[in-house]
Structure 1
């Protein structure tokens, strides 16, 4: 399944399940600095696009582009690895929760660096999967998706980026994969899972096994016992990061 096909398949619920989380948006927009022109790469339906700046979006999926709201930034059909813009066309380029789906992440980052003076990328340190109970205890298949992919260190080095942690609030409004870490019952909801690309990537067998195991552990109290350190946290460190260059 190609990247565009993946998002054509999962993108139908994005305007419902994938909304801007204000606390994370504040961190992302602060990282953009004083940039007035911003390129949003892998823009999806437009979450996290700052309303007070001149934004241009890039999104390869027609399903995603069709869901962008009226008045959203103009959107170009293109891939990160081949951005159709001149060198240094933008003050900043941003990418939110999209880089791990790019065919060549380093090429995409270098393209962002080529067309913009500043780069801000929301991503995950996949060497830290044990930080999140869903990866650790229910979905070992996620690690298999990372074989041959560049590490966070390699990604950062490719554009000279610094790395900044992003804590995930317990009531995160954006339904990305890590968002429901303190609300485990949410992962039993097929509508919620349908907005997370990971399930399409690991396949239905792994998905249903993980859901069954989690349902059983919630019913037995095993999940609560294994994750008692989480239940009183307001925000969690789950390996989510910003790359800022």
Structure 2
């Protein structure tokens, strides 16, 4: 992070409660890390998706996020992604979960740092902004997030170039019943837009001006009440999972 105050000091207060680990996504991340016994987790936050059966070096610049880490997890080191306080090849693997878009001017440096400190695989859970922009909430109501994502989400091919080596990209569908209430999880829960706590637990809403949020809430509430939302998007209610743009990018040495 390049800001004087880490962004999540302001918007991270509810993450431990509403942004809980989805075991299906966690399994995908563990598989990507392979047999690594030591893992650097950058943007570690409150500890969701952090392996419990391996030695972890957690990096988190936000004191608010670090304070939400449960006692069984290692304390986080306060540092930014672009200058990790670690030697080359310090760990078997490295990971970052929905964090890169918050690294601002340090995005490229941060990804290259992950590659530098990991002897083996680097696993990045990130978002394909083009796909995410087609989800009903972003496409029809919160268009400002689509514009923001295009600016702050590094394209997948750019990430691959920064990582180097053998890179694969996996689509990670978001389940209807996911306990991780990201903005992408709203695909199945339009009523959640009316929940202030749910909105606050997503950086997409939290980074918007108040008048934008008020407009979106009013529009979704109206369209739910008069049936417009279901007329346009009702087929989604029959799906168990959906591709909202979540991607797992894995780079092997």
The answer on 1:121 being equivalent to 2:124 is: yes
Deviation at 1:130, TM superposition (A): 3.6
Decide which of 154, 168, 175 is 2:158's aligned counterpart.
154
Question: Contact 1:162/1:244 (CA < 8 Å) preserved in 2?
Answer: yes
In the TM superposition, what whole-angstrom CA distance separates every residue of 1:93-145 from its partner, at most 9, and x where no partner exists? Answer: 11111111112322111100000021101110012234311110111111332
1:1-245 to 2 correspondences below 5 Å: 2=3, 4-103=5-104, 104-116=106-118, 117-145=120-148, 146-147=150-151, 150-160=154-164, 161-245=167-251
**TM-score, normalised via structure 2 length:** 0.92
CA distance in 2, matches of 1:128, 1:213: 23
Structure 1 residues 186 and 3: CA distance shift in structure 2, 3 A: farther
CA distance in 1, matches of 2:200, 2:114: 29
CA distance in 2, matches of 1:191, 1:121: 27
CA distance in 2, matches of 1:244, 1:207: 34
**TM-score, normalised via structure 1 length:** 0.95
Deviation at 1:149, TM superposition (A): 5.5
SS, match of residue 163 in structure 1: strand
Question: Contact 1:15/1:45 (CA < 8 Å) preserved in 2?
Answer: yes
Question: Contact 1:98/1:123 (CA < 8 Å) preserved in 2?
Answer: yes
**Which consecutive residues of structure 2, in runs of 5 or more, have no partner in the other structure?**
none
Structure 1 residues 125 and 149: CA distance shift in structure 2, 3 A: closer
CA RMSD of aligned residues (A): 1.6
**Which consecutive residues of structure 1, in runs of 5 or more, have no partner in the other structure?**
none
CA distance in 2, matches of 1:45, 1:3: 20
Question: Contact 2:136/2:233 (CA < 8 Å) preserved in 1?
Answer: yes
Question: Contact 1:131/1:237 (CA < 8 Å) preserved in 2?
Answer: no
Question: Contact 1:55/1:74 (CA < 8 Å) preserved in 2?
Answer: no
SS, match of residue 184 in structure 2: coil
SS, match of residue 7 in structure 1: helix
Q: How many pairs are equivalent?
A: 245
